[in-house]
């Protein structure tokens, strides 16, 4: 009945029925592996309701009980992506591909997670949006320092100028205008 409600977009009702089924299964001391599909469906219902932590808990329990299915890893990865945890999602999608290397969905989701980690930090915060201005200021300051150091500081010999350009804190190079 929970699956019927799920397909009818009655997600709250699906959650209630699926949870009740799992409660009864626990009361009668049923084999947990017999209820992997029910727990998986509950995880999907939570995911569609945007109840990320509850969905993760169900998917983790499915995986713990032995439901090593690439689709479960993909569902868990999707939840992690929604939680802005792309690095963790990458790891989960790799687990899906370890089971089924040709899984097109896992491959596509992995690529999206990798793109997100390129845009975001490991913790999911958008590093480019937050630090872009700071990086531009730092580049501008360093450029100004280099240009200031390029101006001739001492004249030596036959009207030739010689100056020292500091490239970074470690080294410097001498520059002259002729030899």
Q: What pLDDT, in 10s, does the model give residues 122-148?
A: 555 554 555 556 666 777 777 777 677
pLDDT at 10: 83
Quick check: helix, strand or coil at residue 176?
Answer: strand
pLDDT at 75: 94
| Domains observed in the chain | 2-128 (1.25.40.10), 142-176 (no CATH)
Check if the beta carbon of residue 34 is closer than 8 Å to that of residue 26. Answer: no
Q: What is the pLDDT of residue 162?
A: 53
The two structure tokens encoding residue 1 = 């009945």
Positions of the chain with pLDDT under 50: 127, 154-155, 165-173, 175, 179
pLDDT of residue 60: 94
Q: At 84, list the tokens.
A: 């802005």
pTM equals 0.63
Q: What pLDDT was estimated at residue 7?
A: 78
Q: Residue 152 CB: number of other CB atoms within 10 A?
A: 13
Q: Return the pLDDT at 95.
A: 93
Q: Give me the pLDDT at residue 29, please.
A: 85
User: What residues contact residue 90 under an 8 Å CB cut-off, 6+ apart?
Assistant: 110, 113, 114, 117
């Amino acid at each position: 009945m929970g699956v019927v409600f799920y397909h009818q977009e009655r997600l709250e009702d699906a959650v209630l029925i699926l949870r009740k089924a799992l409660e009864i299964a626990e009361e009668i001391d049923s084999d947990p592996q017999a209820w992997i599909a029910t727990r998986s469906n509950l995880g999907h219902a939570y995911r569609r309701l945007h109840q990320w932590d509850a969905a993760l808990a169900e998917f983790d329990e499915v995986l713990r009980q032995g439901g090593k299915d690439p689709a479960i890893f993909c569902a868990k990865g999707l939840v992690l992506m929604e939680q802005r945890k792309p690095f963790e999602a990458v790891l989960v999608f790799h687990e899906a591909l370890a089971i089924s290397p040709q899984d097109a969905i896992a491959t596509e989701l992995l690529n999206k997670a990798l793109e997100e980690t390129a845009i975001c930090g490991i913790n999911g915060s958008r590093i480019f949006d937050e630090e872009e201005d700071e990086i531009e200021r730092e580049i501008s300051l360093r450029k100004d320092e280099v240009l200031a150091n390029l101006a001739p500081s001492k004249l030596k010999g036959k009207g030739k100028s010689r100056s020292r350009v500091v490239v970074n804190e470690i080294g410097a190079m001498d520059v002259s205008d002729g030899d």
